[in-house]
Amino acid sequence: MEWVYTPDVLKSVYEAYNSNKVVNISHENRNGKLNNQFIPIVLNNKTKYGLLVVTADGNRLDYQIWYYQWNMKQVSSTLLFTLTVILMVILYIFLKPLKTLRGCAEKIAAGELGVTVEVRGHDEVANISQAFNKMSLEIAKYVEDIKRMSDGYYKFIPAKILELLGKESIQKVKLGDQMTGELTILSLHAMDYSRQQGAFSPEEVYTNINRVLSLFVEMIDTRHGVVEHFEDTGLSAFFTVNSSEALDAAIDIQRLPKSQAPGSKRTIAISYGQVTIGVIGHEKRMEATTISTHSDLAKALCLKGDKYGAHILVTHLVYKQIPDFEKHYHARYLGNIYLSADHTYERIYDVYDGDSEEEFYYKDLTRTLFEQGVGLFVAKKFYEARLVFVEVLKQHRKDKAAKEYLYRCDKYYRLPADEDTETVIEKF
C-alpha cells in the first residue's frame, strides 16, 4: 500500500482502519486523478477484518458531474424561457384590453368624447369594457347637454359680454355685474312694424322680422360686433375693436337688396364714448344692457334719420376715431345736436356710402355747397344760408336735409336780430 498510495492517502487508509469510519479522498498519480473511498470491514464480533478500497477515475467522474450539471442548466434555461414566453403571452392577452382602456381614457381626458372600446369575451375585462363604454357615452351626452344649455344662455347674454365682465361662465353672472369702457354703439330699426302688422298675419310679421334681423346680426357678427339688445323691430350692438368695424357693418346692411331687407327709410346711428355694460333684472330673469348717454343717443338718432334723408348717422367722436376718415368714407357734415344730459353739443355726419346710386351721386355733388350752408346756419347767417340751400335744392330737389334747413332759414332770418334762435338740428 505504501508503494501504491501517497503518504496523504495512506494516512487516510490508517484513519479509516483505526476509526471504523468511511473516508473519502482524492489524489493524482501518473494515471491521472483518482477518487478513493476506504470502507472498514468489521465482523459481528467487532473484529477488524480489513479495508475495502473503491477507486474510480476522477476525470471521468468530474466530466459526468459537469455534463449532468450542464444538462440540468440547459433544461432549466429552456423551462425558464418557455415559462417566460407563456407568461408574456398571458400578460399580453389580459393586459392589451387594459392598455386600450387606458388609451381611451386619455382621449376622453383630452376632450375626445364618446370614445368606446371593442368588447370581447365574457370575462371581467369585458365587463369593465362595457361599463367604460356606457360611462363614455353618458359623459358625451352630459357634456353635449351642458354645451346646448350654455349656447342657450349665450343667446341671452353673449360670450363677449361675459369676457368684458370678467366672467368665465354664465353661471357666475349675478345682478349688478358691470364694467365701463370706451365702446362704439350701433342702433337701428329693422322695419315699420305697424305697416307690417296691417299687411300680414302675426305669424308672417314675426317671420319677416326675424328674417331681416338675422341678416343684420350676421353682418354685425362678421364685423366683430356684439348684439346686446333687441327692442321691438330694432337692435343695439357694440363694437370693441374700432369704430370703422361698426361703420362697415352699417354700410353692409344698407347695401342689402330691398328684396332681402325691405325698409328704405331705415337709419343706422353710430356713436362712440364711455359706456357701462351691466346685468339688470331679477335673479330669475336677467339680461345685459348698455347704459350711457352715447347708447341713448344712438337709439334716438336712428329715429331722426329719415327726417334728414340720412341712412347712416355718425357722431363726431366716431368720425375722430377712424384714421383718415375722408379717404375711406363719403360723408357730409349734417349739423349739430344738443345733449341735455351733459349740456354739450355734438357734430353729426351723414355717411352716404350705403345710399342708392342716385342719392350717393347728388349728395357727393352738393357736399361742399351743403356744408357751406350748414356753416352759415350755425353762424346764424340765416339769409345767406338760405341762398346756399336753395342752390343745393336746385341740383338735388329730393334733399330732405336741405329742405329742413331751408324751412328753418325762412323762419329765422325774418326774426329780429336780438331774437334767441337755436342753431342745433335736434335736442336729446
Q: Cα 396 from chain centroid?
A: 51
Instruction: Considering the chain, tell me which residue range(s) the CATH 3.30.450 domain(s) occupy.
Output: 1-87
Q: Among 317, 312, 161, which residue's Cα sits nearest to residue 227? A: 161
Topology, domain 1-87: Beta-Lactamase (3.30.450)
Residue 92: all three cell numbers together: 399580453
Place of cell 377712424: 322
425 in Cβ contact with 334 (< 8 Å)? yes
pTM of the model as a whole = 0.65
Looking at residue 11, its amino acid is K
The predicted pLDDT at position 366 comes to 96
Give the Cα separation of 355 and 350 in Å (integer). Answer: 10
Tell me: the pLDDT tens digits for 81-107?
Answer: 888 887 777 666 666 677 777 777 787
**Burial bucket for residue 259 (CB in 10 Å: 0-12, 13-18, 19+):** exposed
Determine phi and psi for 47, rounding to 5 degrees. -85, 130
Q: What percent of the chain has pLDDT over 70?
A: 87
pLDDT-wise least confident of 125-139, 313-327, 376-390: 125-139
Residue 239: all three cell numbers together: 363694437
Instruction: Considering the chain, tell me which residue range(s) the CATH 3.30.70.1230 domain(s) occupy.
Output: 170-322
**Does residue 351 register a pLDDT over 90?**
yes
Topology, domain 170-322: Alpha-Beta Plaits (3.30.70)
Looking at residue 325, its amino acid is F
Tell me: the pLDDT tens digits for 336-349?
Answer: 999 988 888 999 99
